[in-house]
Amino acid sequence: MAGHPPTAIDVRVGRRLAEARKAAGLSCKEIGAVLGISASLFWRYETGQRRISVGHMQMVADLLYLPVTTFFDPPAPAGVEPPSPALSTDAAGI
């Protein structure tokens, strides 16, 4: 991805990585050590400057005990609950 501007998804995934890492109380250096990369490379993932591989993303999710979808799903607006699976099933019959 060198020389290319970050895409919106790279930035969003990176932001979610940073939020999850900080919530777990870990540093870029600590996560980088688990992934076998430098702290600066992990920081570049967080800022969207580099695209994280699926393998590394899964390793971070496993380390933080989170589903990998955490890094993709947008957070629900405050006070709004996601639709229940039952509601989705009911809507399919309409």
Query: Which CATH code of 1.10.760.10, 3.40.30.10, 1.10.260.40, 1.10.3470.10 fits the domain covering 8-75?
Result: 1.10.260.40
| pLDDT at 3 (0 to 100) | 59
| pLDDT at 60 (0 to 100) | 98
Q: What are the C-alpha distances in Å from 81 to residues 19, 68, 76?
A: 20, 20, 7
| pLDDT at 73 (0 to 100) | 67
| pLDDT at 88 (0 to 100) | 44
Domain boundaries defined on the chain = 8-75
Q: What are the C-alpha distances in Å from 79 to residues 53, 70, 75, 76?
A: 33, 19, 11, 8
**Spans of the chain below 70 pLDDT:** 1-3, 73-94
Helix pair 39-47, 8-23: axis angle to 10 deg: 120
